[in-house]
Amino acid sequence: MALLIDGYNLLNVTGIFAQAGPGTELHRTRLAFLNFLASSFTKRQRSTTTIVFDAAGAPPGLPHLISHEGMTIHFARRHSNADELIEELLENWVSPRTLTVVSSDHRVQRAARRRGATYIDSEQWYAELKTTRRKRRATAKDTTAKPTDALSPDELAYWLKEFGDVPSIPPDAESLFPPGYAEDVEREES
């Protein structure tokens, strides 16, 4: 399902802020937000994600359209605000029933409803995204965890105490026996 995100509306609920660095604080914050979203999505999800930012009073030279990690980013330079551009994008969306609009703005939600698109409040969508990220990290940790059948140092000490020290067998123990020894032992046992 494609996503159409009201950029600053969602950014305001995330608590993402700029780190020190070059450019304006707004630019760095927006970039941190876009990087967060990109890291939250698969490549396929990024390719179907469109984010719209207000651009009233933007500095000269700001493009109206860019791509970031496969996501399409619109700046509403030729519109009074992002809502107006989102409404225009909704009107021109080929299959709005396959679209989810992320915005808490009622104007945007009404426009989505008129076109048959799904919409969700930014706060709710962000909470669901954080839950998904947490589950993904937990799953990743589970797959990298040590095997559960390995003994802890305390368990090993207990069993060594119980049964005494077991002589260690070198990994190349087979080289200690003549060729065919294992087959001879097997025949004798049967």
Distance of alpha carbon 170 from its chain centroid, rounded?
Answer: 45
d(CA 32, CA 28): 6
CB 139 within 8 A of CB 29: no
How many CA atoms does the CB half-sphere of 26 hold within 13 Å?
8
**Residue 129 sits in the same domain as residue 43:** yes
Domain, as residue range, for 78: 2-141
* Buried/exposed 126-154: b ≥16 CB within 10 Å, e otherwise: beebeeeeeeeeeeeeeeeeeeeeeeeee
- Please report which helix (H) or strand (E) contains residue 66, including its range: strand 65-68
CATH of the domain at 106: 3.40.50
| Residue 138 pLDDT | 83
Query: For the chain, which residues score pLDDT lower than 50?
Result: 173, 185
| Residue 149 pLDDT | 63
Q: How many domains does the chain fold into?
A: 2
**Residue 125 sits in the same domain as residue 162:** no
pLDDT digits (tens, 9 = 90+) for 74-115: 999 888 899 999 999 999 999 999 999 999 999 999 999 999
**Residue 76 sits in the same domain as residue 160:** no
